[in-house]
Amino acid sequence: MLVLKPLRKVHKFCSNLFDRLPGCTKELLMRTCYQQQQNRHFGQPVHETHPHLMGMDEVTPGITRAEYQQRRLRLATMVQEAKTQQSIKHSIVLIPSATKVIMTNDIPYTFRQNTDFLYMSGFQEPDSMLVILISDCDFQAVLFVPKHDADRELWDGPRSGDIKALHLTGVSESYNSDELEKFLYNYCKNHKEYAVWYNTNKPIKSQHNAHSIVDEFLKQNNKTKFVQNPLPLIEQMRLIKSTAEIKLMTQTTQMASKAFIEVMRASKPNVNESFLYAKMDYECRIRGAEFLAYPPVVAGGDRANVIHYTRNNCLINDGELVLMDAGCEYHGYTSDITRTWPVSGKFTKAQRLLYECVLEVQEALLGLCTPQYSLADLYKHMFDLLTPRLLLMNVIPSEVSKDEHMLTKLLRELCPHDVGHYLGMDVHDTASISKRIKLQPGMVVTIEPGLYVKSSNTVVPAQFRGIGIRIEDNVLITDGGPVVLTRDCPKHPDHIETLMASS
Ligand code: GLY
Ligand code: MN
Ligand code: MN
């Protein structure tokens, strides 16, 4: 059994600002004032500064310190249990944060924390590192964080610093990031043999100084025979959502669903795609979302047939459908919804035929979101459900259906993407997890069949050309059956037409 070591109030690497103070009274005074000012702030929302967002014991909104500690304990246990480790007593797990990415001279992009680091620590600052030290029967979590820097904090806002980071996150110890190198050097010196768990394949793309320090640690260290990637272990944990995470997933999917309703209401002939994009962004943010979860697709008419259309800058003509694929990020948890609706409020006959076909398939697939099936099984079911319907409607002409090669080619053109994916802190969440494993309670997945008939597709009858449709919901798998988290987002054609008529 692994145990969590108690918090140590003082640690040997602690770099107290006052250690380095010269004996100048004026400077001492200034420093003290600065320190007092800093004491009121953390580098991220906390209960004291954001009581409207956070409970007393929460590190990030909705997730308690105890849950983060439990996650680290679980990871440590998994590392210890990993077979290849059996002969090795000590392991060190290194999980870097993201760093600031510069957009243009001196101007950073909006910061988004490395998901695995956030999942394990709840710490929201860049240029940090979580180190988990595991030995026979105990483990310690050590956090390296940006140190206080009056100049930088003047521009970027307060940093938590090592002491407040320690109390905020509940790790065993914390130090300034510039002490990582020395820490790793000492670890290497004091341990004869150990395994390193670090993602060397796909470190977070960045200038984060910690990567070169860890690379150097790995290179210099010929005792390190075992370097393994912790990502699959962390993603196994992230795949199954806790009760607190399910609440956050419910909130993010509900707020995006409500935002969609407002965007539908605001649609009218000749509206610019950019207007609907801005409306979605606004409606999500006013409900509490930090930002949209990904660049949305807002595509009128034939542009819906470009799966990753994100230019979102054309006018949508009267009579055209609009396909919007958008979701938000709420306290680290994402929603991912697609709806397709007539911009003028009324489906044409051909649009409704295709739409109802996709909807029937989508609803049948939602019913299969149970532990009997995997996402890979559902992908196969999607084609089994779609094909006879497309034949019946003559979307696939009978001469094509007789030639297996032509049929497969046309089906791939009409539906080129997967049926869905896991959803959570990332949109395409836990990508290292196979889609062949059966669905399990606590997973959240998307179900998103589509039908895309390009205007240039001359095989399909003319009335269907230029129509692209996708319907995407977010589903929680439970013992009691699928729970469609996005059920409040209208998708039945009559419901959509009624909603738009009343706007
Ligand atoms: N929005 C990306 C996707 O649906 O997978
Ligand atoms: Mn999706
Ligand atoms: Mn989507």
- Residue 220 domain-assigned? yes
Contact 422, 430 (CB under 8 A): yes
Give the pLDDT score at 88.
83
Give residue 37's pLDDT. 52
Shared-domain flag, residues 217 and 280: no
| Stated pTM of the model | 0.91
Instruction: Establish if 6 belongs to a structural domain.
Output: no
Helix axis angle, 493-501 to 243-265, nearest 10°: 60
Nearest CA to ligand 1 atom 5: 428
Taking only the tens place, the pLDDT of each residue in 47-82 is 999 999 999 999 999 999 999 999 999 999 999 988
Using pLDDT thresholds of 50, 70 and 90, give the confidence band for residue 85.
low
Q: Mean of the pLDDT values across residues 147-153? A: 95
Q: What is the average per-residue pLDDT within 145-155?
A: 95
Look-up: residue for tokens 């849950």? Answer: 67
Of ligand 1's listed atoms, the one at least distance from the Cα of 421 is: 5
Classify residue 40: in a domain, yes or no. no
Both 260 and 233 in one domain: the answer is: no
Is 34 inside any structural domain? no
Looking at 237, 255, 287, the residue that finishes a domain is: 237
Residue 204, domain extent: 60-237
Q: Which residue has the tokens 């939602």?
A: 366
- Residue 309 sits in a domain of what CATH number? 3.90.230.10
Indicate the helix (H) or strand (E) that contains 32.
helix 25-39
CA of 2 to the centre of ligand 1 (A): 39
User: Residues 189, 210: one domain?
Assistant: yes
In a domain, 223, yes or no: yes
CA dihedral 292, 57, 67, 425 (to 10 degrees): 0
Q: Residues with Cβ within 6 A of ligand 1?
A: 294, 325, 336, 421, 427, 448, 472
The Å distance, Cα 209 to ligand 3 centre, comes to 34
Ligand 1 atom closest to the CA of 446, numbered from 1: 4
Instruction: Single out the residue in 213, 237, 261 at which a domain terminates.
Output: 237
Q: State which ligand 1 atom lies nearest to the alpha carbon of 294.
A: 1
Q: Report pLDDT for 11.
A: 35
Select from 324, 325, 444, 489 the residue to mutate for testing ligand 1; criterion: most ligand atoms less than 8 Å from CB. Answer: 325
Distance CA 487, CA 462 (A): 33
Residue 214 has pLDDT above 80, yes or no: yes
CATH assignment of the domain containing 109: 3.40.350.10
pLDDT in tens, 354-385: 999 999 999 999 999 999 999 999 999 999 99
Is the domain of 179 the same as that of 298? no
Atom of ligand 1 nearest to the CA of 325: 1
Tell me the percentage of the chain whose pLDDT exceeds 70.
89
* Residue 272 DSSP code: B
Residue 44 · residue 125 · CB < 8 Å: yes
Instruction: Looking at the structure, tell me whether residues 217 and 289 fall in a common domain.
Output: no
pLDDT in tens, 399-454: 999 999 999 999 999 999 999 999 999 999 999 999 999 999 999 999 999 999 99
Instruction: Looking at the CA of 420, name the nearest ligand.
Output: 2
Residue whose CA lies nearest to ligand 1 atom number 3: 336
CA distances from 450 to 31, 360, 418, 442 (A): 61, 11, 9, 26
225 confidence band (pLDDT: 50, 70, 90): low
Euclidean distance between CA atoms 35 and 147, whole angstroms: 12
Same domain, 190 and 83: yes
**pLDDT score of 395 more than 50:** yes
What is the 416 CA–ligand 3 centroid distance (Å)?
Answer: 14
Domain shared by 173 and 253, yes or no: no
Determine the distance separating the centroid of ligand 3 and the alpha carbon of 501, expressed in angstroms.
26
Q: Which atom from ligand 1 is nearest to the alpha carbon of 428?
A: 5
Total domains in the chain come to 2
pLDDT of residue 8: 41
237, 267, 301 - which closes a domain: 237
pLDDT at residue 116 is higher than 80 = yes
Please indicate, yes or no, if residue 421 is contained in any of the structural domains.
Answer: yes
Residue 31: per-residue pLDDT = 53
| CA 185 / ligand 1 centre spacing (Å) | 43
What pLDDT is recorded for position 12?
36
pLDDT mean across residues, the chain: 91
Domain identity same for 254 and 368: yes
Query: Do 376 and 486 share a domain, yes or no?
Result: yes
Ligand 2 centroid, distance to 420 Cα (angstroms): 6
Domain identity same for 230 and 260: no
Buried b (16+ CB within 10 A) or exposed e, 209-241: bbbebbeebeeebeebebebebbebbbebbbeb
**Residue 406 within a domain:** yes
pLDDT above 80: residue 40: no
Cα distance between residue 263 and residue 280, in whole Å: 6
Which atom of ligand 1 is nearest to 336's Cα? Answer: 1
* Mutation choice for ligand 1 from 308, 421, 444, 469, CB with most ligand atoms inside 8 A: 421
Atom in ligand 1 nearest the alpha carbon of residue 293 = 1
Q: Are residues 180 and 249 in the same domain?
A: no
26 alpha carbon to ligand 1 midpoint, in Å? 57
Q: How many Cβ atoms are within 10 Å of 90's Cβ, its own excluded?
A: 17
Average pLDDT over residues 12-16: 35
Interval between CA 384 and ligand 2 midpoint (Å): 21
Task: With a cut of 70, say whether residue 14 has pLDDT above it.
Answer: no
pLDDT band at 41 (very low <50, low <70, confident <90, very high): confident
Q: Tell whether the model's pLDDT for residue 21 goes beyond 70.
A: no
- 455 and 315 share one domain: yes
Residues in Cβ contact with 39 at an 8 Å cutoff, skipping those fewer than 6 apart: none
Closest protein CA for atom 4 of ligand 1: 336
413 C-alpha to ligand 3 centroid (Å): 19
Q: So what's the pLDDT on residue 193?
A: 86
Assigned domain for 53 exists: no
Per DSSP, which regions of 331-466 are E strands? 333-334, 337-342, 444-447, 450-453
The tens digit of pLDDT for each residue in 288-343 reads: 999 999 999 999 999 999 999 999 999 999 999 999 999 999 999 999 999 999 99
